Chain A
């Protein structure tokens, strides 16, 4: 269980990014952090990664101390691949940094690439891949360490609608298959409603958690057209209308 207790983050210039965040992230859950731009979603993700410390409050990763190398998988808004390395080498990177040999890491590199549907693209360099495929490599790179927590910061925001839907579906299938704990930052109500089974609705700066929803949508192809999904979108929209009246 990952928990945040009364977490606040203030920056040196007096900017209050986050205020009094208390939340639980149960193992195996798919949590969406949903809020308008600048509400501190990404800051919260960085705190969860252990890259930054909260100004006050506590974060627990289910053990004492900070996350170990490889315990956190991080997917950024841009794929941020090494342009000189091919797909397999990019996925190998986190293991290489922890001084694992290529021969011992190779099976996991191939498994991670297969998990995102990129078998056969091991030798392709980022320049030769489409935007969607680069994002898949980036996800494989986050999965290869078998992290306890997968953090994703608006990973599909820069993709076209069709590619985004495909990657959302594949991510959902991957999550069901692996049972990973995912925290997914997005500013899209539709995306949060479609993907998550736990939605944290955040207020504009300073970010606070205004509401927590735990929807349970049908699994499968009908999900995007299901009445439950559309009802959820309306419910979320209504709560934002309460938080941010026009």
Chain B
């Protein structure tokens, strides 16, 4: 199969599926509050574009802020854990516990404690996403070739020289992989937190669009918000993937 056909294939498949879906909805006379057809969803997109756009922006703001905070927190903790085995032993179990606890379970607590709604959402998203950056960066810091470490020591390198000129640059590809994973995780965390906050009376983000649409039985709008959310996830993943490739090719050569 040629390259161009391979590129078109997913779209062809998608369009066919959409056509079948629309056809099935028409033929079975399924009401749109059970399963809306793609055309109804498109219509809902257009009708609620302002609300959906605002919801998307607010969710993305939380995601972006959380990703930034996760990067700072994750890299800082990874460096601290690499520098001191005491610190590693002290931090690791807590990081894992935080990671395996479902964010839905702790979100209400975080929202009560933090108070400020935007900040509370960011904290929830950080809880979900920072571990990906922490564990990948830590793995990268541990992957420094021992021979290069010897070479640095033979030339009297200080701890800071080893960290900034060897370990951190060596961990960069690992960190970028972690960042790509953390990007989608932060989005998931943000939306979950919005759901919890939404049921507590703080309405924001795409999650609120979904909740509100379901209260009013506006199923096409619910679908529209859901699709927007999926698209946002794919775009975040793709953008961070491109960033990873561009940064590494520019640095290490093609």
Contact = CB atoms under 8 A, between A and B. Distances in A.
B230 interface: no
Interface string B69-94: 00000000000000000000000000
Interface in A205-223: none
- Chain A residues touching B, range: 20 to 34
B169 A84 contact: yes
Given A84-B169, A84-B251, A125-B252, A97 B155 contact: yes
Given A78-B147, A80-B148, A82-B148, A51 B154 contact: yes
Interface string A60-87: 0000000111101010101010111000
- Chain B residues touching A, range: 10 to 19
B170 to A, nearest CB: 8
Contacts of A67: 154
A128 interface: yes
Contacts of B147: 76, 78, 80
Contacts of A141: 151
Interface in A78-104: 78, 80, 82-84, 93-94, 96-98
A127 interface: yes
A96 to B, nearest CB: 8
A203 interface: no
Contacts of A125: 252-253
Contacts of B165: 96-97
B150 to A, nearest CB: 6
B84 to A, nearest CB: 21
Interface string B141-179: 000010110111111110001000110010000000000
Contact of B154 (A72, A127, A128): A72
A84 B254 CA distance: 11
Contact of B155 (A46, A94, A127): A94
Given A76-B147, A84-B252, A98 B169 contact: no
A49 interface: yes
A51 B150 CA distance: 7
Contacts of B166: 82
A69 B145 contact: no
B253 A127 contact: yes
A181 interface: no
Residue among B147, B148, B153, B157 having the largest count of chain A Cβ atoms under 10 Å = B147
B203 to A, nearest CB: 47
Contacts of B145: 78, 80
A145 interface: yes
Contacts of B161: 97
A50 B145 CA distance: 19
A68 B154 CA distance: 8
Contact of A127 (B148, B153, B169, B254): B254
Interface string A113-141: 00000000000011110000000000001
A97 B150 contact: no
Contacts of B152: 97
A96 B150 CA distance: 15
Nearest to B150: A51
Interface of B: 145, 147-148, 150-157, 161, 165-166, 169, 251-254
16 contacts: A51-B150, A68-B156, A69-B154, A69-B156, A76-B147, A82-B169, A84-B169, A84-B252, A94-B154, A97-B155, A97-B157, A97-B161, A98-B156, A125-B252, A126-B253, A141-B151
